[in-house]
Every structure is written in structure tokens, then in C-alpha cells.
Amino acid sequence: MTKVAFIFPGQGSQTVGMGKELAATDGNSNLFLEQADSVLDFQLSELIMEGPQDELTLTYNAQPALLTVGSMISARLVEAGITPDYTAGHSLGEYTALVASGVLSFADGVSVVRKRGLYMNEAVPAGEGAMAAILGLDGDKLKAVTDSITAEGFAVQPANLNCPGQIVISGTKAGVEKACVQLKEAGAKRAIPLDVSGPFHSSLMKPAAEKLRAALDDVTMQEASIPVIANVNASAVTHSNDIKDLLVEQLYSPVLWEDSVRTLLELGVTHFIECGPGKVLSGLVKKIDRSATILPVYDEETLQTVIEASKEWS
């Protein structure tokens, strides 16, 4: 039996023009752009369609932009009769998953992630935090090194446990730089600094987490009609109060993406549909389990490919 998960990318996947073709060919898709502009009271749609890329990449713009395009794509899939059994998203993508699962309305979702981006930006001034991808090192060895550097007064910790052999670290600029050197000495194949605007999913985000809780208290959160796999514990959640607590914790806790995918596989998911620009999550799922069927949807052609393929599912 075919079981389907919709998965939603996080920051880093944004690109100028994402969703343009879908909005041009479908009036309902265009409504998402119009509603985002209305809720946020600025022309997010123009930024998505025309850029510039560096402005779109700013965390408080990238977050509502990705949620808008991901929601547009998942709605098109549902209109075509493809309903997920589970949803999941990477970091910011968890909010798009919550919209798809009926926990947040699209309007509340886009509003909350805009605030989330602003709070994250305020928590650590630009240039003081950093992130880096560490390739080819065991998680326990990595954590031992980052714990040691943090104990010396330079905060750094695992932030995204993405797939076997790929872990992203996050913390102060000095902490991440020290960790990159020591992790290579410990056997890492590569340490790649990331072009991000802050130390996401680290303890440095705790000031933003309290503000985020207040923002989440201001919106209505329903029980999930479709279970969502939470980043913080890689477990299926449906209760709105649990989801709210986990979203606050998510801001300063690691994204357990590999474990989340393994949870979906254990729950019987056979088909992963990535709803959003690029194929980042598709690549990670493939590294976690090569037998999974992975279908990225980011334009009209890939949408139609999935719709056609779904006719064969039972």
C-alpha cells in the first residue's frame, strides 16, 4: 500500500522566481501570493518573483516566501487528489507542514514565520554567529568536540542532523571556527562554512524563542488533521499544545532530520513528495534510504509528473 509524506524545505532553498510558473497557470496558486502580500502589508510576491536574491535570502523574507510557495504546491497536489498520510519539514519547513496538516491557517503561518525571522535576526547581531556543515564524522565524536569547545566559553553545538555523514553545527563565530579546525583533526572529511545570517538551532536563539512563544499564543492552532513529524523529537504529533511547545524548543534545538525520515519509513511511508524549490530534501532522503520513492515538485512539469504517477498508486 502506498503511503505518502509531503516534506517541505527550509532556508537555503529560496530562489528568485520560485513558484512563478505555478502562479501564472493557476488562479488559486496566485491567491497565496496575494494573501501573503495582504497579511504582511508589503509586496512579498514581487520579492519572490523579481528578487534581488540577497534580499530574498534575509531570514525574515526567506521564511514567509518559502512557506508561501510550499503551501501553494501542497494545495495543488491536494486539489489533484493526492493527500499525504504525514507531513514534515526541515526547520522553517515544519511551519509549512503545519499549514498542510491544518494546524495553522496559511495567513497565520505566513505572519508567524515573518515574526520568527525578525526575532531570529534580532537575537544575534550579524557577524557574531555562524554555521558550518561537517561531512564524514560520527555524531558522537562531533558532539564531544563541540561540547569541549562550548565548555571553554565558545558556544557551538550540532544544529541539523541531516543524513549519515552530514551534520551542521551552529554557534558563535569563534566557536564554529574552532570546531571546524578540531573536527577536521578528529577525522571530518570537510568543514564547510555556510552563508547564513545567524546561528540557527543553537542556544544563542533562546532570546528569540520567548518572543516566538508570544507570537504563537496570538494565533489559533488546531489539532493536526494529518500527523506532523516534529524536528525536535522526530515523533508524530497532532495536539496543538504539544506542537506549540515543540516549535518554541525547535528554535534552539537540533533539527533531527535523519531521525524524522526514519520515523516516516517506520510508519510505512513509501513516497516522499518534496513541496518547494530545489531538491535538497530529496537528496537527503535518498542518502538515508535509497529504496524510497522521492518526487520533488517545484514547477508545472514536476507537478504533472507526480499527478500522473499517483494514478498508479494503490
User: How far apart are the C-alpha atoms of 205 and 210, rounded to whole Å?
Assistant: 9
Strand partners, 294: 272
List 71, 91, 111, 260, catalytic entry? 91
Report yes or no: 255 and 202 within 8 Å, Cβ to Cβ. Answer: no
List 197, 201, 253, 271, catalytic entry? 201
* Residue 239 designated active-site: no
Smallest CA-to-CA distance from 87 within 279, 296, 228 is with 228
Give residue for cell 506532523.
228
Active site residues: 91, 201
